[in-house]
Structure 1
Amino acid sequence: MENKMATYIRLTDYKSSDEKEQEFFNPENRYKAKQEDFSNIPGNYIAYWLSDTVINHFSKNIFLGNEVITREGMATADNDRFLRYWNEANFNDIGFNLQTIDEANKSHKRWFPYNKGGEFRKWYGNNEYLVDWQNDGYGVKNNIDQKTGRLRSHNYNGEFAFQKGMTWAALSSSKISVRFSNYGFMFDSKGAMGFSDKNIEYFIALINSCVGMKFLEILAPTVDFKVGDIIKIPLIKHKEEIINTIVKTNISIAKQEWDSREISWDFTKNELIKHKNDSKIETAYSNYCDYWREKFNTLHQNEEELNKLFIDIYELQDELTPDVELKDITILKNETKIIDNELVFQADEIMKQFISYGVGVMFGRYSLDSDGLLIANIGQEVPPSTTFEIDDDNVIPVLEDDYFKDDIASRFVQFVKATFGEEDLSENIRFIENSLGTTLRKYFVKGFYEDHLKRYKKRPIYWMVASPKKGFMSLIYMHRYEADTFARVRNSYLTEYIAKLEAHKETLTLTTSSDTASNADKKSADKQMKAIDAKLKEIIEFDRDKMMHFAQNPTEIDLDDGVKVNYCKFRDILYPITGLCK
């Protein structure tokens, strides 16, 4: 049968029926194609709008799969049981940087890094999860459905476990984002991987480029990027050395940015301390912005250069431009916004990260004397001497007033003094508060914990003991938890706070009955007394009905159970987390 030319009308870019009807007669929406052209495209997609150049690339039958092996990852069939965010576990129980299953087994570790897709992010990052692979994954491999007797989990990575390669999220809202994954990871069905004995950087660059995305718009039109679609991208290798060099720079920038936050297991210290060169936080902030603006611009320029290189290699100058929108650069998403096509740093977020690091130093999670984690395991001893004194009882009160010497707002001021000195302390506190838009105390009472829950994706490492109306609050550090921790909270802080409030009320009573006090002072004292009465009523009921029980019944926790299980044991006395405890 003669292969005749057919005419197609493409209206998929128009949403309403009126638009489609109006554009039906627009000649720019008409395409001509032969049936045999579709046979050159893997899957025989009826992609009638493709140019001869694109069809020709498919017809050469040289694809990414010639040099890259892709594998769909594991399905544990019970992620609540077998997966954790890395900060939930004892750090010493995590096996990092292992290269084979044999090494993992010999390490006697329980938890191992696990690629699971994640947010839209190129080059490096989204390293958040761990999988329970103790004893060669015995638990996962024996996850039997009790009703049917069938094995629920499958696809255990095999020989590709712990190998370096590239990874991406299987599902996306728009574009694909591929990242380098070093040795030491297992991977999930939602975090597929690709492997090659050649330089993986070239393939990462191709898929992340506008050229790679153009091919994937054909191969994966539903933005479900399956392993079988990735390997069908036409492959032309040219200018490899230049491209690989650019990609290594991109990976380095993205890794440095990922590790700049405490949600990375390779985090060392807060960025403001890294960029400090005098006694002013404002200077450190300015240095931070200058440094990361340059890194952002370099990454932006590199992505556009890679697009240009691949457009030239694939001869698609008439179809694509190398331009990359600033919003599509996938670093500094928390710290910046794109406003009027300009990169604008968010001082409040950067100060919040500094504050979070400060709280970590108070609890001993971090230290000003060393990089990275200090205390990150249950039962770990607290060092006897550090530059900034670690809270001795693992309880830091978070209150509207300064009633305790280790009150969180007061201790943070001391932390600022320890890191930036005493000379500009007042100016530094003022700069932080101006950036936050509120006082430090109000931020700690009203905003800090919600930010902590967001930062740690509702798996907090600091737990907030909180009465229902937040009249009493105090933080504890999960990795320093002991069975008598809540008894300590009650005996040393809650009951003491009640006594302090009652004493304050007595002082106010003297003012209201004083012959020498002004009417304004008496009115103010009376108002304060009513507020204290309401607070006392709430706190005393909280103590009697909730706190006393946990103080008198010491309870152990096992970090391997995860935050969800452990936090919810104490839900009656802890800050409520929406959706965590059901």
Structure 2
Amino acid sequence: MTTFFRLLESSVDLKGTHLRDAVASLRDLNQAPPSQGSPILERDPTTFLALPGTPFAYWLNDSIREVFKSLGKFGEDGRKAVVGLKTSDDSRFVRLHWEVPLSPIGERRWVVFAKGGAFSPYYSDHQTVVGWMGDGAQLWAYYEANRARTGGMIKNPDFYFRAGLTWPLRAHRFAPQALPKNCIFSLRGYCAFVPEGDLLWTLAVFNSSVFDFLFKTTLGRFGYPEFIVGQLLRLPWLRPDSDIAERLGQLARRAWSLQRFFSTRAETSCAFLLPPGLNENITCVDQGAIERELRSIQQEIDEAAFKLYGIGLEDRVAIEAFSTRAAASDASEEEQTDENRADEDDAPVDAGANALNSWLVGVAFGRFDPRLATGERPTPPEPEPFDPLASRSPGMWPEGEEPAQRADILVDDEGHDDDLASRARAVAERVHVHLPEKLRSWLAREFFPLHIKMYSKSRRKAPIYWQLATPSASYSVWLYIHAFNKDTLFRVQNDYVAPKLAHEERRLESLTNELRDNATAVQRKELAAQQVFVEELRAFLEEVKRVTPLWNPNLDDGVIINFAPLWRLVPQNKAWQKELKSTWDALCGAKYEWAHLAMYLWPERVVPNCARDRSLAIAHGFANVFWVEGSDGKTMTRKTPTRSVDELVRERTSPAVKAALKSLIEAPVANGNGGRGRTGRSRSTAATEGEDA
């Protein structure tokens, strides 16, 4: 026998005293065994062999060890637990679901990608998608070319697109969520698979306190462990009677629905319906009532699971105490995990007035459906937990029902037909909500930074409403990524900015003629302000003209790459401008050769790379030009391409684009050196010349 001292409940300053007292009391053990609750535990170390992985689980008593010895294992009878896809280059292969074209998500071009994420029992809002064009052809080619460096990437593809149960690698407790069909799971978003009819009751048992305890016991720690699949397969498992299984399934289904409600208020969610306030008006749901019902459901699930595993009351109390202590002691550790750091930008900006105002902008652009708020359109029925996710949230306009006239360009220009503030106010009046008087200034100076933060998840920043503005934000043009096209910037230039400048120049001329030498101090101030405004508009128009020939958006490239050439058009937001400039410099430096924009601007550089890298050839549609499958089934480079590199480059080279590119790269920086090296040349120039930036 071996003696253990368990002092977890002792405060730090008393641990020494309690340990000394426990050692001193050892002499009494010959007369009587340690009492219940004593810090002294006597165990035969050979009993540890009964547990999967032989953890040093000295705290277990005989009845709990018997559970491990007497029951079957989860990994029997065809049940599986596996790891999934590691892209090795998320910037290339992973996007947030709102930044890719709407329709292809269901066509296996962009597939929902379960990456683990934060603690979220029963339901999780999966916000990332992974590029799976041509059944993952680019990923397979990238893997073949880089396997020595990356190791295994595409693991267990036979399980992709199946309904299952997924969970983050680390959490304070084991709390899986439903994984819908037509998803891919990641290397850190583990997944378990059981027969479809068993999914819901298995989800309930997985989320029970007893299963969490058994899992943590085999891992050797209770504080924020890694819930690895190998150990899950070895955990004790049994099938409940049919009536118990049915009830557990009902409870899990209801818990999933209640947890999902919280996502129906977040506009970045696949479940979004309406923002807070409007949402509750339609659904008549009370958050406090939901939280109380969730606690009640969890209690019933725990009760059923304890009975299922034959855990008595005394052991149950001990298990629940273990869980409570572990959750409390590791709260600080939770904040430091990769999963939480990945979403560290998820500040509560999508609540209250911010959420309402953002929704109004979405309605103004024809993204969200205001009929849900007025009752003109009934609330869509809730999907089932394992139904494939739709490419449009319930709060968006259904496909085919969108307004005939949807805005692709809005402006901050009072009196203009496409004035954003006026359109937002019109929507507010329609749905009977109050807006602040300073809405216009809020939209001009506060909304875009908040929007960037709201639309930042999983280390990606992907705003979908773009504010292009003068340095003081005295004038703004707003674009919506799912409405713009190759002609959008030409329209910005010719239909909005140029007429606005002409109008303000006429106003300046009129003011100058009116005031002359008889102007008061107030009038002189007004004249000076108008002069500054006109100068800002002239500079803004010049920048729009500079970049318009380069504009060739492709949403598959992702938001930040599409936005990067416009970095000079966001001087009102220095932080975002810096990120765009960094991405632009990386594009110039050949970091993103897979991007359609790279091919558009530098075909002379990208086309030859396609002849060397099959994943790039696939990305740009040249796979059959430079590559061929041999008789052994392996892909190899063609000795003679079906078309020459020079021919392909000529087809894709535009003198107008090259001239505009040269102008953008060599353009002086308006304020400070803002991105120039010591030589005065921009980093982009240095990068394109092959020099160190």
Which TM-score tier does this pair reach, normalised by the shorter chain? 0.7 to 0.9
User: Aligned partner of 1:90: which letter?
Assistant: P
**Equivalent of 1:178 in 152, 155, 176:** 176
**Equivalent of 1:187 in 185, 188, 204:** 185
**Equivalent of 2:547 in 537, 547, 550:** 550
Instruction: Tell me what 1:456 maps to.
Output: 455
Instruction: Tell me what 1:50 maps to.
Output: 60
Q: Deviations over 1:324-375 (max 9, x none)?
A: 99x99xxxxxxxxxxxxxxxxx998144333323222222223446675799
- Which deviates the most, 157-166 or 23-32? 23-32
Instruction: Tell me what 1:248 maps to.
Output: 253
Give the C-alpha shift of residue 412 in structure 1: 0.8
Give the C-alpha shift of residue 293 in structure 1: 3.4
Number of matched pairs: 507
> 1: distance between equivalents of 2:216 and 2:176?
15
> 1: distance between equivalents of 2:283 and 2:523?
46
Say if 1:76 and 1:154, in contact at 8 Å, map to a contact too: yes
Say if 1:361 and 1:390, in contact at 8 Å, map to a contact too: no
Instruction: Tell me what 1:101 maps to.
Output: none
Distance 1:14 1:456, change over 3 A: farther
Give 3-state SS (helix, strand or coil) of 1:49's partner.
Answer: coil
> 2: distance between equivalents of 1:274 and 1:85?
24
Instruction: Tell me what 1:297 maps to.
Output: 292
Instruction: Tell me what 2:659 maps to.
Output: none
Task: With the length of structure 2 as denominator, give the TM-score of the two structures.
Answer: 0.64
User: Aligned partner of 1:556: which letter?
Assistant: N
- The 5 Å alignment of 1:432-511 reads 432-433=435-436, 439-457=438-456, 458-499=461-502, 501=504
- Which deviates the most, 215-224 or 297-306? 215-224
Distance 1:147 1:223, change over 3 A: closer
Give 3-state SS (helix, strand or coil) of 2:563's partner.
Answer: helix
- Which deviates the most, 35-44 or 353-362? 353-362
Instruction: Tell me what 1:66 maps to.
Output: 76
Give the C-alpha shift of residue 183 in structure 1: 1.6
Give the C-alpha shift of residue 291 in structure 1: 3.4
User: Aligned partner of 1:396: which letter?
Assistant: L
Task: With the length of structure 1 as denominator, give the TM-score of the two structures.
Answer: 0.76
Give the C-alpha shift of residue 250 in structure 1: 0.9
> 1: distance between equivalents of 2:451 and 2:65?
51
Say if 1:143 and 1:151, in contact at 8 Å, map to a contact too: no
> 2: distance between equivalents of 1:203 and 1:579?
44
Instruction: Tell me what 2:269 maps to.
Output: 264
Q: Root-mean-square deviation (CA), in Å?
A: 3.8
Say if 1:117 and 1:191, in contact at 8 Å, map to a contact too: yes
Say if 2:445 and 2:473, in contact at 8 Å, map to a contact too: no
Say if 2:273 and 2:395, in contact at 8 Å, map to a contact too: no
Distance 1:566 1:299, change over 3 A: same
User: Aligned partner of 1:397: which letter?
Assistant: V
Give 3-state SS (helix, strand or coil) of 1:480's partner.
Answer: coil
> 2: distance between equivalents of 1:382 and 1:469?
38
Say if 1:487 and 1:550, in contact at 8 Å, map to a contact too: no
Distance 1:26 1:71, change over 3 A: farther
Distance 1:512 1:382, change over 3 A: farther
User: Aligned partner of 1:404: which letter?
Assistant: H
Q: Deviations over 1:65-84 (max 9, x none)?
A: 33531011112222222222
User: Aligned partner of 2:298: which letter?
Assistant: E
Amino-acid identity (%): 22
> 2: distance between equivalents of 1:181 and 1:512?
69
Say if 1:145 and 1:152, in contact at 8 Å, map to a contact too: no
Give 3-state SS (helix, strand or coil) of 1:357's partner.
Answer: helix
User: Aligned partner of 2:230: which letter?
Assistant: G
Say if 1:463 and 1:476, in contact at 8 Å, map to a contact too: yes
Give the C-alpha shift of residue 23 in structure 1: 4.5
User: Aligned partner of 1:71: which letter?
Assistant: V
> 2: distance between equivalents of 1:289 and 1:439?
31
Instruction: Tell me what 1:390 maps to.
Output: 406
In the alignment, structure 1 residue 411 sits paired with structure 2 residue 423: yes
- Which deviates the most, 409-418 or 249-258? 249-258
Distance 1:148 1:196, change over 3 A: closer
- For structure 1, the 5+ residue unaligned runs are 96-106, 276-283, 329-345, 421-427
User: Aligned partner of 1:264: which letter?
Assistant: S
> 2: distance between equivalents of 1:215 and 1:549?
64
> 2: distance between equivalents of 1:260 and 1:139?
36
> 1: distance between equivalents of 2:527 and 2:218?
70
Instruction: Tell me what 1:215 maps to.
Output: 214
More helix by share: 2
Distance 1:304 1:469, change over 3 A: farther
> 2: distance between equivalents of 1:557 and 1:19?
65
Say if 1:74 and 1:154, in contact at 8 Å, map to a contact too: yes
In the alignment, structure 1 residue 117 sits paired with structure 2 residue 113: no
